[in-house]
Every structure is written in C-alpha cells, then in structure tokens.
C-alpha cells in the first residue's frame, strides 16, 4: 500500500463554500481514478498545522497507481480548478 499525504494552505479570502467544493471534489476522485483504495480529507481543527487548513490522505494499491494518478486527466482537472485557491501545498508519499 502506498500512502499519499497532502496539506493545503489556502489563500486569504477563500470561502467555506469553495473549501467544501474542493473537499467534495477530492472525495469523488476515489470513484473516478483506478488504483485508489481509500481517500480521507478534511479541515484542520487542532490549530497545529502551521496554517495548512486542509489535509488529504490517499491510499493507492501500488507505486504504479500513484504514478498513474499524477498525470491522470481527472486529477489534472482537479488541480486546474482548485489551484487558484492554494497559497502553498506540501506532499509526502511512503509505502506502508
């Protein structure tokens, strides 16, 4: 299993509605892209995230599935739609 973790710091002025649209789009990826076992995402509630408001955890079946995810047209459409909301993004991938 491959874990893909992403943290999103949003730009000032992003609305709750925009955040919810982004979270809904992230959750929908599981049904749209092969190789995704599980997706969990949500808004930080602890205040320990150094300003990152949204966290994402994606479990992939393999490294190959992760490699196919990055350029996948549906993933790229998500990035194109929501990247204007992001101030900063951090990602970490590891095998579990």
Which tokens is 2 given? 């491959």
pTM score, whole prediction:
0.93
Q: 15-34: per-residue pLDDT in tens?
A: 999 999 999 999 999 999 99
Question: What pLDDT shows up at residue 37?
Answer: 98
Of the pLDDT bands very low, low, confident and very high (cuts 50, 70, 90), residue 42 is very high
Under 8 Å between Cβ of 66 and 5: no
Handedness of CA 70, 73, 84, 48 (dihedral sign): negative
Question: What pLDDT shows up at residue 46?
Answer: 95
Measured in degrees and rounded to the nearest 5, phi and psi for residue 21 equal -60, -40
- Which residues touch 12 (CB under 8 Å, ≥6 apart)? 87
CB atoms within 10 A of CB 74: 12
Instruction: Write down all domains in the chain, each with its CATH number in brackets.
Output: 2-95 (3.30.70.100)
Q: 48-86: per-residue pLDDT in tens?
A: 999 999 999 999 999 999 999 999 999 999 999 999 999
CB atoms within 10 A of CB 56: 20
Question: What pLDDT shows up at residue 13?
Answer: 98
Under 8 Å between Cβ of 83 and 6: no
Mean per-residue pLDDT, 6-14:
98
Tokens 């990247």 identify what position?
83
Question: What pLDDT shows up at residue 2?
Answer: 98
């Amino acid at each position: 299993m491959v874990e893909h973790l992403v943290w999103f710091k949003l730009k000032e002025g992003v609305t709750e509605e925009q955040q919810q649209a982004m979270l809904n789009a992230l959750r929908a990826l599981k049904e749209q892209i092969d190789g995704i076992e599980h997706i969990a995402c949500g808004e930080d509630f602890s205040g320990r995230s150094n300003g990152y408001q949204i966290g994402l955890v994606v479990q992939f079946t393999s490294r190959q599935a992760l490699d196919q995810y990055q350029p996948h047209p549906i993933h790229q459409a998500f990035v194109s739609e929501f990247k204007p909301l992001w101030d900063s993004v951090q990602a970490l991938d590891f095998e579990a």
